[in-house]
C-alpha cells in the first residue's frame, strides 16, 4: 500500500508540479479552501476549521500554504496575514495530527531564502548563518519555528525546511512578469541591478521536495536555490538574450519602485547570495544549475515563435 502524503497550498505552482512527481509512488491528498475532487479536503484558516478526515493514515505532510509575499503592499493588516497564513496554518495541521493520534515520518515545510534578510551584500549565506533583521526575515523565522514544533512535540520523526528562492516557471510568478517588458524590448534592471537574485527552476524545487520525502537523512533547514549566483541586471539580460530581444533600457530607479510598492520594494531592490552546497552534499543533483539552460527550457516555446 502506498504511503499517504498530505499537501497544503493545493492551487500553488509547486503543489501542482509536485503532485505530478509524487503520484506514481505515493497517494496524494490536498487541503484546499474549496473541495473539487475526491482526494481534496477543506480547511478554513480564518475560521480555524479543518476536515480531520484528511489526516487519516497519512505518513507525511508537505506544507506549502502561505499568502503571496509580493502580491500586495505591506500594510499592517497584510503583514499579519503573511505571518498567519504560514504560522496559524501549521498550528491547524498540528491539531489534525494530534486528533488522529499519528506520528508523521516527516513534516516538510516551505520556507524562504529571505531568512537571511534582504540587505545586499557580497556574503554567501549558508544554513549555519543567523537570520536577518527585516520583516521578511521575521516571517521566515516564525514560519520555521512553527514547523519545528512538530518535532519538539513528538509529532514528526523529522522536520525539513526548504528555504526557497524565486521559483522560475513559464506559467506564472516572477519570470512571467519579467518577460513581459523584455518581450516588448523595454526590459530593465531594478534599482542598481547589483542586488543578487536567488532562483531555482520549478522542476528542481519539486524534485527537492520528493528527495526530502524519500531520504530519511534529510532533516533541518536547506537552501533551495540554484548553485549559480546572478544579479538582477544579469538575470534580466539573460532573459533578453534567450528571447533574442534588446537590452538597452536604463535601470528602473529605486525611488520609483519604493513609491509604487512601499516597503514591499525591498523584496526586489535588495538580495544576497545563498549556498546550495548543503543539499548537494547529501547527493541531490540539480537538473538546471545554470540560468541560461533553465530559461531555455522554460521559454522554449516562445523562442521557437520568435
pLDDT tens digits for range 19-54: 999 988 999 999 998 888 888 999 998 899 999 999
User: Residue 180 falls within a domain, yes or no?
Assistant: yes
User: Residue 253 falls within a domain, yes or no?
Assistant: no
Start-end of H helices in 62-172: 76-99, 135-152
User: Residue 270 falls within a domain, yes or no?
Assistant: yes
User: Residue 241 falls within a domain, yes or no?
Assistant: no
User: Residue 236 falls within a domain, yes or no?
Assistant: no
Contact predicate 190/252, CB 8 Å: yes
The answer on pLDDT for 261 being more than 60 is no
User: Residue 139 falls within a domain, yes or no?
Assistant: yes
> What CATH number is associated with residue 156?
3.40.50.720
Kindly report the CA angle at 155 between 153 and 156, in degrees rounded to 5?
Answer: 115
Q: How far apart are CA 299 and CA 297, in angstroms?
A: 6
The answer on pLDDT for 6 being more than 60 is yes
Position 242 scores a pLDDT of: 87
- Domain extent for 36: 4-231+264-305
Q: How far apart are CA 55 and CA 100, in angstroms?
A: 7
120 three-class SS: coil
Contact predicate 30/61, CB 8 Å: no
Mean pLDDT of the chain: 87
> What is the pTM assigned to this prediction?
0.91
Please tell me the number of Cα atoms within 13 Å of 82 on its side-chain side. 22
User: Residue 244 falls within a domain, yes or no?
Assistant: no
What total of structural domains would you count in the chain?
A: 1
Amino acid at each position: 500500500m502506498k504511503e499517504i502524503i498530505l499537501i497544503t497550498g493545493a492551487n500553488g505552482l509547486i503543489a501542482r508540479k509536485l503532485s505530478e512527481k509524487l503520484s506514481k509512488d505515493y497517494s496524494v491528498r490536498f487541503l484546499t479552501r474549496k473541495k473539487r475532487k475526491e482526494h481534496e479536503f477543506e480547511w478554513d484558516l480564518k475560521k480555524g476549521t479543518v476536515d480531520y478526515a484528511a489526516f487519516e493514515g497519512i505518513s507525511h505532510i508537505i506544507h506549502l500554504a502561505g499568502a503571496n509575499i509580493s502580491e500586495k503592499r505591506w500594510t499592517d493588516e497584510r503583514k499579519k496575514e503573511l505571518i498567519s497564513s504560514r504560522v496559524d496554518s501549521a498550528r491547524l495541521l498540528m491539531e489534525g495530527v494530534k486528533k488522529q493520534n499519528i506520528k508523521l515520518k516527516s513534516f516538510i515545510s516551505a520556507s524562504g531564502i529571505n531568512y537571511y534578510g534582504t540587505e545586499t551584500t557580497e556574503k554567501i549565506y549558508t544554513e549555519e548563518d543567523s537570520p536577518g533583521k527585516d520583516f521578511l526575515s521575521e516571517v521566515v523565522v516564525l514560519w520555521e519555528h512553527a514547523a519545528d514544533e512538530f518535532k519538539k512535540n513528538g509529532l514528526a520523526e523529522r522536520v525539513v525546511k526548504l528555504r526557497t528562492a524565486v521559483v522560475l516557471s513559464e506559467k506564472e510568478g516572477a519570470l512571467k512578469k519579467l518577460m513581459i517588458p523584455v518581450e516588448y524590448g523595454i526590459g530593465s534592471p531594478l534599482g542598481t541591478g547589483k542586488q543578487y537574485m536567488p532562483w531555482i527552476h520549478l522542476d528542481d524545487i519539486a524534485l527537492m521536495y520528493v528527495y526530502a520525502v524519500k531520504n530519511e537523512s534529510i532533516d533541518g533547514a536547506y537552501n533551495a536555490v540554484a548553485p549559480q549566483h546572478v544579479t538582477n541586471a544579469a538575470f534580466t539580460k539573460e532573459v533578453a538574450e534567450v528571447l533574442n530581444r534588446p537590452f538597452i533600457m536604463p535601470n528602473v530607479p529605486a525611488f520609483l519602485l519604493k513609491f509604487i510598492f512601499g516597503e514591499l520594494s525591498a523584496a526586489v531592490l535588495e538580495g544576497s547570495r545563498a549556498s546550495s552546497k548543503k543539499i548537494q552534499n547529501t547527493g541531490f543533483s540539480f537538473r538546471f544549475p545554470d540560468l541560461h539552460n533553465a530559461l531555455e527550457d522554460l521559454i522554449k516555446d516562445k523562442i521557437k515563435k520568435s
